[in-house]
Amino acid sequence: MLFRSIALSLALLIGVGVIIPLATNTIEAGSHKTKTYKGKKNYRKYSRQWWRAYHARQRRRKAMQAHRRMMRLHQLRMAKAAEQAADSKVAKTPAGRPAVEQTAVLPSGAPAPQGWKKGTSSTSELQFSVDNGNASAAISIVGPAMGETVSSGRNRSVGGVPTSSLRREVINRMIRENGWVVNDFQKEVGDRQVYVVVAQSQATGGRVQSRMFYFTEVDGRIYSVAMNSNPDAAARLAEESEKVIYSLGARPRPTQQAAIKE
């Protein structure tokens, strides 16, 4: 009995010793699947493909650096512009007191109506902020007069320029600014014939704004006075605009004159 147990134990040990090497060899001889990583290609170093990939990486790196520099420059410019705007808004005298706000002046040299503040102007247009920014006005010179003003008949004109051309100019502007022309007519302001174009435009939020355009001839030039306001204040601001037109007949100061549009 003892010899039988010893014989069975030896047989088991020999069997296990034979099976394990066979299983190991079978596993090692099997097919192995290696992971592949997309985007990473194995090129021979300094080969043509390797140099192409190297130069592509360099181009991407330089483009990223240029983009970062551009964004940084843009941020610096925006910060500088904001700082300049703040400095101009809160201008200080040497004594540390706020500077007195300058009175808005019309091209004739007369003071602008009450509530009109000087806005951003250019060589071809004087802009004003009206009613604390709730409305705006602009005075510009459309061009030189071509002849006499005609207020009746089919050939109506302002300074020799047909009113149809002036109306077309307003229509084109309204097309650009999401607006439309409502009416046009001629009237007399003081001793001057004035051509008026009434229009409307849609502001932010769907609110409708009143637009008034006045054209008149003064000293051989055709002036334009444009008003943009809420419909509730349109009548009152129209009266102020007519006062501005009436003042244009005064002798203009060269330093305040708007230049002719080229």
Average pLDDT of span 163-178: 91
pLDDT of 52-92, one tens digit each?
999 999 999 998 888 788 778 867 877 777 777 777 656 55
- For residue 185, pLDDT over 80 is answered with yes
Residues 6+ apart with CB under 8 A from 222: 141, 142, 143, 144, 145, 158, 159, 161, 215, 216
| % of the chain residues with pLDDT over 70 | 76
Quote the pTM value: 0.57
Helix residue spans in 124-215 (DSSP H): 163-176
For residue 232, list its beta bridge partners.
Answer: none
- For residue 253, pLDDT over 50 is answered with no
Instruction: Provide DSSP, 6-20.
Output: HHHHHHHHHHHHHHH
